[in-house]
Amino acid sequence: MSTIAFIGLGNMGGGMAANLVKAGQTVIAYDLVQAALDRAAGHGCRIAASAAEAVGEADVVITMLPAGAHVRQVWSADVIPHARQGTLLIDCSTIDVDSARAVAEAASAAGFRAADAPVSGGIMAADAGTLAFMVGCADEVFAEVEQVLTPMARAVIHAGGAGAGQAAKICNNMVLGVSMLGVCEGFALAEKLGLDPERFFDIASKSSGQCWSLTTYCPWPGPVPTAPSNRNYEGGFLANLMLKDLKLAQAAAAASGASTPLGAQAEALYALFAGLGHGDKDFSAVLQMLRGKLEELA
């Protein structure tokens, strides 16, 4: 059994740390917010007075923080200077590829094994231990990373070297943002043409329009009972988080010279939707903006 320092026990990290405790690991938790620490203590984590204190006792450090700036700051000030030699360092936050590579390089220069391991799956998957992890690390480190992450996972996939996990995550979520908008436009046009949306679903789901956004996460209420569209788009994957990932994809496209015009359109549409005050709805709620029926989101 390992001693794991877990830094960042918010919506995602809280459930993830709880699953590590359930698997028999000793988890030393640190967060800036007292309520997050209280919840972690309730799940059986030991609470540290600082990130440095948590890190100093650990065999493994996991960070689950909002964005690249937080990860750079915590890894440079707390993790790398205070970890014991031999400690495995894993960042599970969704951050920009450059920050992921920068912290991996700093860790490697200080003699540590490190991985970026962002997740697919939201708060429910974090609580249930069914996240998909996309891992960027050296080949010889992957087996060890996989073993640590397994109690929180339905899948742990090696994407490549440092930063490859973040690259896989933002490419996947750009596909998702574009495909959701395509499905929403299909429903909006079907409605204007007088086509029954349920019939359109039946036909498109058995035709070449079939995709995850249509058949697993249908934005039109009704055809897929488990989709957030059936509960006024509450919960699920927030439009604000989709916007964050689309911004990361556009920044990566600009830096690498990739051509992603549909990703740029998706970013603009989700920025508009969030700017209209609906960023805390599930991302499939963008259907109501395209239908001109935002009042239905009240």
Q: d(Cα 117, Cα 260) in Å, to the nearest integer?
A: 24
Residue 30 or 201 having the CB closest to ligand NAD: 30
Q: How far is the CB of 10 from ligand NAD (least distance, A)?
A: 2
**Cα angle, residue 242 at apex, residues 236 and 247 outer, rounded to 5°:** 170
Residue 66 or 275 having the CB closest to ligand NAD: 66
Residue 201 or 237 having the CB closest to ligand NAD: 237
* 8: Cα within 13 Å, side-chain hemisphere: 21
For the record, the structure tokens of 231 come out as 């509960």
Residue 8 or 186 having the CB closest to ligand NAD: 8
**Cα angle, residue 187 at apex, residues 181 and 189 outer, rounded to 5°:** 100
Q: Is residue 169 among the annotated active site residues?
A: yes
Q: How far is the CB of 44 from ligand NAD (least distance, A)?
A: 18
Catalytic residue of the set 169, 192, 244, 281: 169
Interface residues with ligand NAD (CB under 6 A) are 7-13, 30-33, 36, 51, 64-66, 70, 74, 93-94, 119, 122-123, 237, 241, 244
Q: How far is the CB of 73 from ligand NAD (least distance, A)?
A: 6
Residue 74 or 218 having the CB closest to ligand NAD: 74
Residues designated as active site: 169
